[in-house]
Amino acid sequence: MGTTLATNLAGARFNGSECTFSVWAPLKERMILHLTESKRQVEMKKDDEGYFSITLKDVKQGAKYFFRPDNEKDYPDPTSFYQPEGVHGPSQVYTHDYEWKDQAWRGLPFKDLILYEVHVGTFTQEGTFEAIIPYLDELYETGINALELMPVSQFSGGRNWGYDGVYPYAVQNTYGGPDGLKRLVDACHQRGIAVFLDVVYNHIGPEGNYLPQYGPYFTDTYCTPWGDAINFDGDWSDGVRDYFCNNALYWFKYFHLDGLRLDAIHMAYDNGAYHFWQYVNDKVKQLQEEVGRPLHMIAESDLNSPRVINPLVIGGYGFTAQWLDDFHHALYVMLDPKGRERYIDFGLIEQLAKAYTDGFVHSGEYVKFRKRKHGVSSAGIPGDKFVAFNLNHDQIGNRIHAERLCVLVNHEKVKLGAAALMLSPYVPMLFMGEEYADQSPFYYFVSHTDPALVEAVRKGRKEEFKDYKGEGESPDPYDEKTFNDSKLKWVKRNEGKHKITLEWHKRLIQLRRSNKAIGNFDKNDITAQVIAQDALVIHRQAVGGSDHVLCLFNFGEQKVRYTMPLGNKKWRKILDSQEVQWSEDGKQKQTLPSLTTSSEEVVIPPTSVIVYEEVR
């Protein structure tokens, strides 16, 4: 796999007619390779770094095998590339032979992306990688050019969000395995669509987690919501760091992925001088030079710290970008006043203004939810270092009834929220179906085979929602109906208000790409003016000040008067959510004039957004 690898890649790897099996188990004295179909058992040899290996000439693709640490019990390969029989079954030799058709693909700049988060199991009725392919053309026509797949590493059963994966290198068998993922990536690239994958390096799922049987992958020095932390800085941590670092490189090299989204990076603890995230991003940047196309790394972080996205050369973690939760929270409470019960530290229009101009809303202030001061300023950091959204799997699935925004608020507010996102100086992400206001819930679901674990999950969900008893009961996460109810209703895409919402998103994306001011990520070229308790004006300009745009947002129920900026300028309307083509009932509402001038007063209707560009 080239010079970029942190160390030797373990697993079952073909080299010509030979297959080398390798596994890291530094504290074990012996290791047996057990080829199940031939019942052959072979002693493996250990090196100084704790890797056991053996090379055989008569092994074919598809051969199934276990490893047996200290000759005690058979376990699947921790670096298994495929688990066709699930998390407890044998690993299968997989050669990664695939005839790629994306040789012309050179990737996309991060700033140009419209991300689209997808759960493979619920995006289609079939719930497979290949079942997604027929929908790609419609997504691309909408303006979406980057899929972000929720985790696909092998988990127990066939229904799961993916964050319970236990084989980081193995692609979920029920989704179509590694070949299915490659066919999806290939099809996306041929249509101009990038592919990102959500990966989890802060914990391993509960069922089928046999890593402790091999080595010191975990440490009790730190505690996480999932138990002991991954051992990134303790004794024998070099092998652990390489195991996860190589996994990131593995996805890029063997699956031609364009980016990774790293789950909850603040839960990966490392007190060493060379932080694990620096290590990973350093190696990814080396691989980027080798492959000659951009490889993007997106962090989910709860730190509100620029360190996450600062360059490696100044001590940052070096991520391409990070999710911007503060933007979601500040916007959501303006759209749904009930959201202030959920996000107790948000609710002021000034906070949304700060989210537009600075990024982090909490930048050192006292936060009631955390009972302490939180964050530092991100002012001045370019907008393309952040991913903003109205919905994601967490924001939907962690509600009792898993309602999407379009179920919680009316059509006008759905349009308003979409515009607030697409007109922001950030890289936008939609959750699958959001572009046409799909009303399907996205519940939390599992299909573990361990009854005790299933019961623990049920109790955990009830405990999580104990403060929301007035809202009823959340459905059983183990019930298959819970999973099936979460599947998209794609057929509604071209019906009624769903079609209007879809066309609204198309218009916003087109405007984002064609207007130089809206497409500018420089924070020095954006200002936010609060003009009422529930209204603000975002002033954006192109690099060098050549083009100017005014985005007038009224989140309230009352009209708001606004005087256009001073100066001898004319302003032409390029977007108005009140126009008849965007109306749910087909009736024309109060609209603003198509052309206005400096110092002229306009009246912004309730729950609306209007965009003017300077006439040059």
Instruction: Give strand pairing partners of 420.
Output: none
Q: Sheet containing 595-597: give its strands across.
A: 526-532, 535-541, 548-554, 608-615, 570-576, 595-597
Return the amino acid letter for 318. Answer: G
Annotated catalytic residue within 198, 207, 263, 435: 263
Q: Of 484, 448, 445, which Cα lies nearest the Cα of 157?
A: 448
User: What Rg do the C-alpha atoms of the chain give, in angstroms?
Assistant: 26
Annotated catalytic residue within 148, 242, 300, 614: 300
Coil, strand or helix at 176: coil
Residue with tokens 């091999």: 214
Return the amino acid letter for 319. Answer: F
CB atoms within 10 A of CB 330: 26
Q: Give Cβ neighbours of residue 469 (< 8 Å, ≥ 6 apart).
A: none
Instruction: Based on the residue annotation, tell me whether 117 is a catalytic residue of this protein.
Output: no
CA 308 remoteness from chain centre:
16
Residue with tokens 């799997």: 393
DSSP 75: B
Strands 259-262 and 194-199: parallel
Q: How many residues does the chain have?
A: 616
**Element counts in the chain: helices (H) and strands (E):** 15, 30
Token pair belonging to 299: 């962090």
Cβ distance 204 to 166 under 8 Å?
Answer: yes
Residue with tokens 């300028």: 569
Q: Which residues of 176-204 are buried (b: 16+ CB within 10 A; e: fewer)?
A: bbbbbbbbbbbbbbeeebbbbbbbbbbbb
DSSP symbols for 19-51: EEEEEE-TT-S-EEEEETTTTEEEE-EE-TTSE
**278 vs 312: CA distance, rounded Å:** 7
Q: Give Cβ neighbours of residue 503 (< 8 Å, ≥ 6 apart).
A: 581, 582
Strands 526-532 and 535-541: antiparallel
Helix axes 237-255, 177-190, angle to 10 degrees: 50
Instruction: Based on the residue annotation, tell me whether 300 is a catalytic residue of this protein.
Output: yes
Which strand (E) or helix (H) includes residue 194? strand 194-199
Instruction: Give strand pairing partners of 529.
Output: 537
Q: Give Cβ neighbours of residue 413 (< 8 Å, ≥ 6 apart).
A: 335, 336, 405, 555, 607
* Backbone φ/ψ region at 36: left (φ over 0), alpha (ψ -120 to 50), beta: alpha
Active site residues: 263, 300
